[in-house]
Chain A
Amino acid sequence: MAQKKQRSSILERKKEVLESLSGLGGKIYDQLDNGTFPSITMPSRSTENIYYDPQVRQFILGDRKVKRSARNIRHVKPFAQLTWAALFSNELTSQCKTSTLRDVYYSAQAYEMTFKDQQESNNIVTDLETILGFSREDFSIFPEERSAIFGDLTIEYTVPGYEGRTMNLTSHPDGVMIGPALTSSEFVKTTADKVIAVEKGGLFTRFIEESVHKKFNSLLVLTAGQAPRATRHFIRRLNAELNLPVYIFTDGDPWGMHIAMVIISGSANAAHLRELNTPDAKWSGVWATDIVNYKLPTDPLDEVDMKRLYELQKDPRYKEDPLWQREIKTFMKIRKKAEQEAFSRYGLTYIVDEYLPAKLEETK
């Protein structure tokens, strides 16, 4: 049984975030106070400045910098927006409130700041992430929640009104939503020795019904398609803080494969951020070779699927492990795809009784 960790990560991180936000404010304030136009330098997020770093096994930003200066007529408004976004994040975080990107867009109006559209405000939030190196979830700005977790993990809340309260994540049979309250909680204890992440809600429910968490001594995570960043960070914490290996099950097609890849190696869009990936997580299926070996019912790969495969073939993340190239080639050869539900042709429990143990063993 994993022991309760030092009570650190969550509160420490929050402190760090608040410090860096007010540090940014101080920097701007001092420049103004000295009678100079404030400016901020940050790494460029343009595609030419995004590199794959095999060391950290994720995309990172290169050396190119961009400068935002309030002296520049085209920058002064975004600069003000950025300062506002930092202030807003600071207030949210210090008051333990959360918000969404949509909220940010509207909240600006209360400060007589306007954003042209949602895209503009999203960009400003991304700028803030880039400057400070924290993700927006750290600033208490969350996406719509849709992913969930189930299994024997006891957590302790840090959100106001629930501080110190604990909960076991088996307490609700539909699973527990991975939202701000959960991602900001501390891990207390678990009996699980692995994490199994699945792409689809149907399979997640099946696994709970079939007591996969007990049979395989695991925590179950529903990514609900491409995993949100908060979920990716949460999976990383499960892996890092509780030392649990992570196994990912997706549909057997290029899109499912990439869902696993983003959990493992992150995305180019988040190249300015760290700690969203779980490099040691494993993609356990459904592989192209599984489609062949298990004689699964299939659909043909269409043009878009094939195009995606060619893109992925060149992607540096897919060159890390020969497994990926092998599976891409197999997909291209068989030109077929299969969903996780395809195992039902062998009966509803086949996937749990036969496939799952075999794959867990294979990707250990």
Chain B
Amino acid sequence: MAQTTFEEISAADFFYRNRDIAGFTNPSRAIFAAVRELVENSLDAAESLKTPPDVYVRLSYEGEASAETQIYRLRVEDNGIGIPPRHIPSAFGQVLFGSKYKLKQQRGTFGLGGKMAILYGQITTHQPAYITSSTEMSKIYMYKLMIDIQRNRPLILDRKVLINKEQWRGTIVEFSLEGDYFRAMPKLLDYFKQTAMVNPYANLTFVDPKGRLYRFTRVTKEMPVPPKETKPHPYGVDVELLQRLIQITPSKNMLEFLKNHFHRVGEITAHKFLEFSNLSLSKNPKKLTHEEIVRLMHMLKKYKDFLPPDASCLSPLGEDLLKAGILKELKPEFVVVHQRKPATYAGHPFIVEFGLAYGGEIPKRGNFIVYRFANRIPLLYDEASDVSVRVITAMNWRRYRVNPDMPIAILVHICSTKVPYKTVGKEFIAGRPEVRREIANGLREVARQIQHFMSKREHVDRERKRLGVFSKYLPKIAQFSTRLAGKQKPPDIEKLLTSVKKYGAEETEK
């Protein structure tokens, strides 16, 4: 019988062994994932200060690594909130250390992103990472560090403190990694463009290894309302959560318990619910038996009159910003946007936003161009499996006088405290019925709007064409008949032309 040895591995070690999970599958994905994780950290860092983000990314060539891969140096600078000096080593040198474990919409969710990139850099190049940060205090802190993978601890190799004369605030991360930029390039550029689309208030700059500059300039300083932390919604609880809440609650009766720990439950709702579920107001929650807790969970799910979760824990872009972003990056002839009301799946609130852009610089591809976003992150892989794409494909667009041969781009943005990704790779969204329904309804709404636009435009076009025909040919009839009749002065046809125009104006009246 073979002997099995059990050993505990550190979180860093786990991800070192399973780096595919975090998206570092191959040299080209690795470049993409590293840039993406750091950019998203930077955007979050600026947004948490309500400062329009300025993010600068530089990727420079350092040398050959193998026949197919190269060593690059990645530098990402932001104007974000900065990291207090004592947290810097852990924030970048310890996997699963982070501030992202609360219930509100966030870009990342693992607390992995930046660290995973640095970890990947370290294991491919054995070079330390350089972190510079300031919280706008008088000092700037620079750390040179590596990760002790087995112990999941940062190793500080060097530390410098500089005087912050210019009151700089932000974070700079710089490290080397192995990758394949030229394979990654198309996706990376898509990533920047799409990120710019849903962050129209951000300045993004990217300098690639050939020294090419890509700049995405903000068109607004308006920013979406930042998300608030929130209590769990009654529909989203499970027995485990109920038990934890009961353990920590200071409430002495069920009425207080419901009011204190659940989202959108107030005095009246709590009363009505307790009546509905035949529970006594004064019952001490700590005295609930296991069976009663299970029953409570079922009743919570069964009760129809809880208010839906409000959007305060979510930070959708909003229709105006969405429109601004689409106009800025896609330069369409026309765009419609629509934000659905908050909905829930399994108690998790979510909001879906839609944009549909037509014409202008949008190319005709023989198929709709679909841009997918989750919590303001572009999803660039596994498009065909995504619920949005499936709904778009299944929809009867002809009803809306729209067909895939038209130059149309569709944008779907899902924000949620828990985006229903299908896989750990977080590249596509699962087809949960609630989500699917919201997407379908939202698409119908933008489709109706575009249909309205198309038929109006068709009408205006027809009218313009009609007027064009008269103003082209009436003068010719006048000119030819004058010559044919041997007259000198052409007849005055202004009145006739005006009469056609007036008629036309009435017709185009909205």
Contact partner, A29, options B473, B487, B495, Cβ 8 Å: B487
Asked if residues B477 and A38 are in contact (CB atoms below 8 Å), the reply is yes
Check: A73 CB closer than 8 A to any chain B CB: yes
Asked if residues B487 and A84 are in contact (CB atoms below 8 Å), the reply is no
Q: Which residues of B contact A12 (CB under 8 A)?
A: none
Given A25-B485, A29-B491, A32-B481, 14 more contacts at CB 8 Å? Answer: A22-B486, A26-B484, A37-B496, A38-B481, A76-B474, A77-B469, A79-B477, A80-B474, A80-B480, A83-B480, A83-B484, A84-B476, A84-B480, A90-B484
Contact partner, A28, options B466, B481, B496, Cβ 8 Å: B481
A80 to B491, CA, bound (A): 15
Check: A117 CB closer than 8 A to any chain B CB: no
Asked if residues A70 and B484 are in contact (CB atoms below 8 Å), the reply is no
Contact partner, B482, options A29, A80, A84, Cβ 8 Å: A29
* Pairs A–B under 8 Å by Cβ, sample size 30: A22-B484, A22-B486, A24-B484, A25-B481, A26-B481, A28-B477, A28-B481, A29-B481, A29-B484, A32-B491, A32-B496, A33-B492, A37-B496, A38-B477, A70-B473, A70-B477, A73-B469, A73-B470, A76-B470, A77-B469, A79-B473, A80-B473, A80-B476, A83-B476, A83-B480, A83-B484, A86-B480, A86-B484, A87-B483, A113-B476
**Given A21-B484, A22-B486, is A32 in contact with B477 using a C-beta cutoff of 8 Å?**
yes
Q: Which residues of B contact A113 (CB under 8 A)?
A: 476
Check: B223 CB closer than 8 A to any chain A CB: no
Check: B370 CB closer than 8 A to any chain A CB: no
Check: A35 CB closer than 8 A to any chain B CB: yes
Instruction: State the Cβ distance, A125 to closest chain B Cβ, in Å.
Output: 15
Contact partner, B469, options A22, A25, A76, Cβ 8 Å: A76
A90 to B482, CA, bound (A): 13
Digit string of B458-489 for contact with A (CB within 8 Å is 1, else 0)? 00000000100110011011101111111100
Smallest Cβ-Cβ distance to A34: which chain B residue: B491
Asked if residues A83 and B477 are in contact (CB atoms below 8 Å), the reply is yes
Asked if residues B495 and A35 are in contact (CB atoms below 8 Å), the reply is yes
A83 to B484, CA, bound (A): 8
A278 to B497, CA, bound (A): 49
Tell me the dominant secondary structure on chain A's binding face. helix
Q: B-contacting residues of A (Cβ < 8 Å)?
A: 21-22, 24-26, 28-29, 32-33, 35-38, 70, 73, 76-77, 79-80, 83-84, 86-87, 90, 111-113
Check: B123 CB closer than 8 A to any chain A CB: no
Check: B493 CB closer than 8 A to any chain A CB: yes
| Chain B stretch 82-139: residues in CB contact (< 8 A) with chain A | none
Q: Which of B473, B484, B493 has the most CB of A within 10 A?
A: B484
Smallest Cβ-Cβ distance to A24: which chain B residue: B484
A24 to B480, CA, bound (A): 11
Q: Which residues of A contact B493 (CB under 8 A)?
A: 32
Instruction: State the Cβ distance, A120 to closest chain B Cβ, in Å.
Output: 14
Asked if residues A87 and B477 are in contact (CB atoms below 8 Å), the reply is no
Smallest Cβ-Cβ distance to A73: which chain B residue: B466
Closest 10 CB pairs of A and B: A25-B484, A25-B485, A32-B491, A28-B481, A80-B473, A33-B491, A26-B485, A83-B480, A29-B485, A29-B481
Instruction: State the Cβ distance, B305 to closest chain A Cβ, in Å.
Output: 59
Q: Which residues of B contact A36 (CB under 8 A)?
A: 496
Instruction: State the Cβ distance, B506 to closest chain A Cβ, in Å.
Output: 15
A282 to B481, CA, bound (A): 44
Q: Which of A37, A79, A86 has the most CB of B within 10 A?
A: A37
